[in-house]
Chain A
């Protein structure tokens, strides 16, 4: 069955360092992969979308990579700030598929 795994439930990073979050998927051939941020008690908020033919996508301090051979996406936050503390969700999506299925999420805490 299809599976999405995100690295360790919680990740603590010192302020100013780069945070790297991992999303591994199995039994999927996604055409797209999306990353969302979720704060406690709030709905997920879209951050970045990357297509299968794109190796890397950037937005300000955020960078996403997509390796279809390794079946993995990496999400980087550079120069991390306490305000980046949240749960980050990945969601692969196949062609012809409308429903977004989320991974379990990684709870990131940036320590001042």
Chain B
């Protein structure tokens, strides 16, 4: 069964550095998402992406964050000037039909540790 893959599985970075988290969504899916889960807390929406542009973003997704689909397969989340509080699991997801009546398929996440 096709799946969403994320790399790396674990990323350690120093405060102030930039990181890029990578995702390969399921190939025929049109909607892409990033979610974040701080340890022990709920899964929080960051951003949705459709037709090569951001369709919705949360308050968390400020100027520090950006997303890109540089080619036909990858979907990336860039975090500039990382802060300690950015430490979390970051999940990428994709869906065929925007989640309205089709499920989101999640990757297994990248654990980001900012020291």
A interface residue numbers (CB < 8 A to B): 31-32, 34, 38, 41-46, 49, 51, 89, 93, 95, 97-105
Complex contacts, A100 vs chain B, CB 8 Å: 33, 45, 99, 104
Instruction: Give B19-64 interface residues, CB cut-off 8 Å to A.
Output: 31, 33, 42-45, 48, 50, 55-56, 58
**Sample (21) of A-B pairs whose CB atoms are under 8 Å apart:** A34-B103, A34-B104, A41-B109, A41-B111, A42-B108, A43-B108, A45-B106, A46-B105, A93-B99, A97-B99, A98-B31, A98-B48, A98-B56, A98-B98, A99-B33, A99-B48, A99-B56, A100-B104, A102-B45, A103-B42, A105-B43
Give the size of the chain B interface in residues (CB under 8 angstroms).
27
Add 15 more A-B contacts to A100-B45, A100-B99 (CB < 8 A): A31-B100, A38-B43, A41-B109, A43-B4, A43-B91, A43-B93, A43-B106, A44-B104, A46-B103, A89-B42, A98-B48, A98-B50, A99-B45, A99-B56, A102-B43
Q: Which residues on B sit within 8 Å (CB–CB) of A34?
A: 99, 103-104
Please report the number of residue pairs spanning A and B whose Cβ atoms sit closer than 8 angstroms. 65
Show the binding face of B for A, using Cβ within 8 Å. Answer: 4, 31, 33, 42-45, 48, 50, 55-56, 58, 89, 91, 93, 98-101, 103-109, 111
> Closest chain B residue to A101 by CB distance?
B45
CA of A24 to CA of B4, assembled, Å? 30
Residue among A42, A43, A46 facing the most chain B CB atoms (10 A cut-off): A43
Q: Is the CB of B55 within 8 A of A98?
A: yes
Select B43's contact among A44, A46, A51, beta carbons within 8 Å.
A44
Q: In the complex, which residues of chain A have a beta carbon less than 8 angstroms from the beta carbon of B100? A: 31-32, 93, 95, 97-98
Q: What is the distance, in angstroms, from B40's C-beta to the closest C-beta of chain A?
A: 10
Would you give the shortest CB distance from B76 to chain A, in whole angstroms?
A: 17
CA distance A97 to B101 in the complex (A): 11
Q: How far is the CB of A47 from chain B (nearest CB, A)?
A: 9
**Nearest CB in chain A: distance from B56 CB, A:** 5
Instruction: Specify which chain B residues have a CB less than 8 angstroms from the CB of A98 in the assembled complex.
Output: 31, 48, 50, 55-56, 98-100
Give the nearest-CB partner of A105 in chain B. Answer: B42
